[in-house]
Amino acid sequence: MAKKDSIITLSHGSGGIESQKLITELFYHYLEGCVIGASEDAGVGEIKDKCAISTDGYTISPLFFPGGDIGKLSVCGSCNDVAMMGAKPKYLTASFMIEEGFLIEDLKKIIESFSQTLKESDTKLISGDTKVLPKGTLDKVFITTTAIGEFLYPHLQMSAFKIPQDSCILVSGEIGNHGAVIYSKREEISLHSTLKSDCALLYPMLEELFKNNIQIYALRDATRGGIASVLNEWANTSNIGIEIQEESLPIRDEVRGICELLGFEAYHLANEGMCVLAISKEDSTKALDILKQSKLGKNAAIIGHTTATNSKKVVLKTTYGAKRFNYTTTKPLNLYFLNWIERF
């Protein structure tokens, strides 16, 4: 049994001495230089013009995985969401819900990772909260973050509802790495490889596209549901067809192997450090060159295009001379797709 001083207890959430020790000796210690309005009821920030705001809750098993942990994930996830609108992350709020009995040493690791990623993003924590819940009422740690971003490039006008026909579809990196790592850990699949989650901040890479006035119609980080979910949503909201070349998809051999073992397709798996881009045909090659100059974008690829045919459908053109139409199911957390094969 763990010693009382090595675990989170209900007294850490009571608002008394133990609560103050948790906040000052743990959170403030690791978040030094990252917090606005520490010990005040609210942080006060400043946004000169319009802003982008995104909230998300993070729960993942395992909490620690190759390439990241829930702390890093909760910062990258919300910061990337505002970046998909063309906004630079500026402020972040965070709420930590912690299960009674959780190891303080593990909480330290999560907060340290959270802080490091916050510094890398050049974002300030403007508001925060902690809650301790009785053992068994949640799974270890939940983190909810809200990112607030400011628009530095007013020429950007991106929307999932306005993607025109004859646009090019790009991905900024390899697909399925994060989902493959998580599933391999859950299923205790031993990997003799360097495969790790792609969890990363996307704005620094994307800003180079913004600076070069690339015509971007839409951006989306392909998290839950993978790139297939993104493409299906775009096809529906913009009333277009999308055709993808299977052989153009950048997928690691290790990811393919895990998918074969577990019965998935890589384009259904979550990603946390890559995005899907709809770019004008004229700017697509330039955009690809810019992406490839960054560390995150070295495996970027043009994977397909939008069409006037097969409206509201995503067509995967296989290496075997077939087309496969992919429809997402109506179940919100389901990664599976119903497939119809049309040979020609």
**Of the given ranges (59-73, 102-116, 237-251, 315-329), which has the lowest mean pLDDT?**
315-329
pLDDT tens by residue, 39-78: 778 889 888 889 999 999 999 999 999 999 999 999 999 9
SS3 330: coil
The torsion angle over the Cα atoms of residues 250, 256, 259 and 260, rounded to 10 degrees, is 150
Q: How far is CA 225 from CA 6, 178, 232, 265, 337, in A?
A: 37, 12, 10, 11, 10
Residue 189 confidence (pLDDT): 83
Rounded to an integer, the average pLDDT of 7-11 is: 93
Q: Which two tokens stand for residue 70?
A: 């829930």
- Rounded to whole angstroms, what are the CA distances from 89 to 29, 129, 152, 178, 240? 23, 20, 11, 22, 31
All domains of the chain, ordered by start, with CATH?
4-151 (3.30.1330.10), 167-343 (3.90.650.10)
What pLDDT is recorded for position 113?
Answer: 97
Alpha helices in 37-132 (DSSP H): 70-83, 104-120
- The rounded percent of the chain whose pLDDT value lies above 70 is 92
pTM (two decimals): 0.91
Least Cα distance to 277 among 187, 201, 217, 207 occurs for 217
Q: Is the pLDDT of residue 337 over 50?
A: no
What pLDDT, on the 0 to 100 scale, is given for residue 332?
34
Question: 107-156 pLDDT, tens per residue?
Answer: 999 999 999 999 999 999 999 999 999 999 999 999 999 999 999 998 99
Judge contact between 182 and 255, C-beta under 8 A. no
The token pair that represents 213 in the structure block: 């006035």
The dihedral sign for the CA sequence 282, 283, 286, 289: negative
Residue 234, SS3 per DSSP: helix
Helix (H, G, I), strand (E, B) or coil at 189: coil
Res 328 pLDDT > 80: no
Closest of 26, 135, 20, 118 to residue 71, by C-alpha = 118
Rounded to 10 degrees, the C-alpha dihedral 269/308/167/315 comes to: 20
Query: Are the CB atoms for 166 and 306 separated by under 8 Å?
Result: yes
**Pair 99, 133: CB distance under 8 Å:** yes
∠ at Cα 334 (250, 243), nearest 5°?
Answer: 40
Cβ atoms of 241 and 306 within 8 Å: the answer is yes
pLDDT by residue (tens digit) across 281-319? 999 999 999 999 999 999 999 999 999 999 999 999 987
Q: What is the pLDDT of residue 10?
A: 93
* pLDDT, averaged across the chain: 90
| Pairing of β 301-307 and β 241-245 | antiparallel
The pLDDT value recorded for residue 134 is 96
Tens digit of each residue's pLDDT (9 = 90 or more) over 168-225: 999 999 999 999 999 999 988 887 888 999 999 999 999 999 999 999 999 999 999 9
Is residue 338's pLDDT more than 60?
no
pLDDT at 343 over 60: no
Would residue 262 be called left, alpha or beta, if left means φ above 0 and alpha means ψ between -120 and 50 degrees?
A: alpha
Nearest Cα to Cα of residue 95 among 64, 133, 67, 149? 133
Q: Is the pLDDT of residue 331 over 70?
A: no
